[in-house]
Structure 1
Amino acid sequence: MEYYVKSVIPIIESNYDKFTATEKTIADFFIHNQKKMDFSVNHIAELLYTSKATLTRFAQKCGYHGYKEFIYQYEETFVEKQEKITGNTRMVLNAYQELLNKTYSLVDESQVVRIIGYLNKAEKVIVCGRGSSGFSAKEMEIRFMRIGVNVDSMTDSDMMRMSSVFQDKRCLVFGFSISGETEEVIYLLEESYKRGAKTVLFTINNREGFENYCTEVVLLPSLKHLNHGNVISPQFPILVMLDIIYAYYMEQNKYLREEMHDSTLRALEERENREKKLYQM
């Protein structure tokens, strides 16, 4: 299970909604292909009944300079893997491993640095999400509050709509939506952005139009039906990315933030000790 491969598959999946019908045919081929072959532009163009120019445009929409750079990265995904466990254990662990591999491929460290910059400047941080994404929002609130960030989480639809009125250039708003379509989350991001707030969306889909109201779009890895939580928790990709951001943020003023974290632990321990004494009485 110990393997990390820089793969283009999650990049294709994240940009899927941007593709034309022909480009989606190309995307489906590369996503589902399981074997090595001649990936030259001439052979693939003939195989998929498309043109070299279309393959080039497809590669560029995925963020590459051209098809040659794209296919070089794609061929790196063919790595031999030895399975040593079977059954449901293997299924679950492989799902987690696949998501970690895809996170490795998607994470943009320069983007993480920018987000840390927004965190440092923001006077107020809002984190919102519905369902399982709401649990992730609460997790972010608890973790970052303990190291001195003025942060609140929101999971209620009405609260998200009402709070949008109060966001401005002093604020930073995080929205968690696996699909990128959660109405209340998108509304809060749109309205906050209009009022000058920095906005960050965590999603698996890099849709057209996000640039109109998102300062940053953090792409998350995807598995089929991930948002339904059939095999593993839909929170996992969000929490992995939050861990990366948290690690970067802690690294700045490390000793001060560690002291803040330890102080919150001491406060909790003092409460527990008082409760124990009251119970013993």
Structure 2
Amino acid sequence: MAARQRSIIPMIDVNYKQFSPAEKKVADFFIANDEDVDMSASAMAERLFVSEATLSRFAKKSGFSGYREFAFEYRNQKLKKRSAMTNVTKGVLSIYEDLLNKEYDLIDEKQIDRIVKYISQYERIVVCGKGSSGMAAEEMELRFMRIGINIDSIVYEDRMRMQTVFMNKKCFVIGLSISGTTEDVLYMLQAAHRNRARTMLVTAYNREGLSDFCDEVVLVPSYQRLDYGNAISPQFPLLVLQDIIYTKYMQSNHYIKEALHGNTLKALRRN
């Protein structure tokens, strides 16, 4: 039986802690890289602002005789991995790539900063959605409650309508609807707006009249009939936006929020 070829990324991962800061910079690049780049030592040293000696030390710590062997194996594995992919796999990955590229164009940094400010200011956060958007709402509750945010997710239509009674100027209400037409979500936002709550809709389709009852309309990318889930999960653009908001929020008072997150995880441990 032929010897099994070593997989490079796991080799980098298991040796990561012994890398110097400069070597970690090299490791981070090769772990994340998905481009066809000039792998020569001189070109890579210039690209990463490190010395060729750093590249050599990094390769040896990763289990190779030197950078030349590492570069050869790395390129071979990348080529084999791509050639082994089926058209279906390539198609799905290209959709994700397309959505992320669209996100770059749609994201409004100033709007994200305002949303982060609202999350900090308001006493109660309510996020609602149905179906896949409801799952994204529940994920948002789980993530933010771990860092001390008073947040509830509402995914059933009866609860959405009942909860509007309790919306007031101390609430920040977030609706998730890829289509932008989910009746119960729009009803909740309209009622919350009438009760002077801050309101926000996350959608892939900007429609006339949304700004009448939404203080913020946040646009996320869509791909064909993404709202029906027949290409990839409709949650994907919603979760990407959540990650951006969560990361921005964590940047302020980072240590306090990390400590809260750590404490909630400890509380989940049984022993």
TM-score (norm 2): 0.69
The aligned amino acid for 1:132 is S
The share of aligned pairs that are identical, in percent, is 52
The aligned amino acid for 2:115 is I
Deviations 1:62-94 (A, max 9, x none): xxxxxxxxxxxxxxxxxxxxx865411101100
Aligned pair 1:160/2:190, yes or no? no
Structure 1 segments, 4+ long, off by >2 Å, are 83-86
Instruction: Count matched residues.
Output: 192
Deviations 1:179-211 (A, max 9, x none): 000000000000001111111100001101011
Structure of greater Rg: 2
Distance 2:197 2:250 in 1: 23
Aligned residue number for residue 3 of structure 2: none
3-state SS in 1 of match to 2:179: coil
Aligned residue number for residue 240 of structure 1: 240
Deviations 1:41-72 (A, max 9, x none): xxxxxxxxxxxxxxxxxxxxxxxxxxxxxxxx
* 1:59-70 equivalent positions in 2, closer than 5 A: none
Aligned residue number for residue 265 of structure 1: 265
Distance 2:172 2:248 in 1: 17
Aligned residue number for residue 228 of structure 1: 228
Aligned residue number for residue 111 of structure 1: 111
Distance 2:247 2:117 in 1: 14
Q: CA deviation at 1:2?
A: 5.1
3-state SS in 1 of match to 2:125: strand
Distance 1:257 1:128 in 2: 24
Aligned pair 1:203/2:203, yes or no? yes
Q: CA deviation at 1:231?
A: 2.2
Distance 1:108 1:221 in 2: 13
Aligned residue number for residue 136 of structure 2: 136
Distance 1:201 1:252 in 2: 24
Aligned pair 1:172/2:172, yes or no? yes
3-state SS in 2 of match to 1:143: helix
3-state SS in 1 of match to 2:221: coil
Aligned residue number for residue 87 of structure 1: 87
Aligned pair 1:190/2:194, yes or no? no
3-state SS in 2 of match to 1:148: coil
Deviations 1:5-38 (A, max 9, x none): xxxxxxxxxxxxxxxxxxxxxxxxxxxxxxxxxx
Q: CA deviation at 1:228?
A: 1.2
Distance 2:122 2:106 in 1: 26
Greater relative contact order (Cα < 8 A, sep 6+): 1
Aligned residue number for residue 219 of structure 2: 219
Distance 1:206 1:235 in 2: 18
Distance 1:146 1:215 in 2: 26
3-state SS in 2 of match to 1:101: helix
Distance 2:219 2:238 in 1: 9
Aligned residue number for residue 249 of structure 2: 249
Distance 1:264 1:205 in 2: 36
Q: CA deviation at 1:117?
A: 1.0
The aligned amino acid for 1:206 is N
Distance 2:176 2:267 in 1: 30
Q: CA deviation at 1:165?
A: 1.2
Distance 2:95 2:255 in 1: 36
The aligned amino acid for 1:130 is K
Structure 2 alignment gaps of length 5 or more? 1-32, 36-81
Distance 2:259 2:244 in 1: 20
Aligned residue number for residue 26 of structure 1: none
Aligned residue number for residue 151 of structure 1: 151
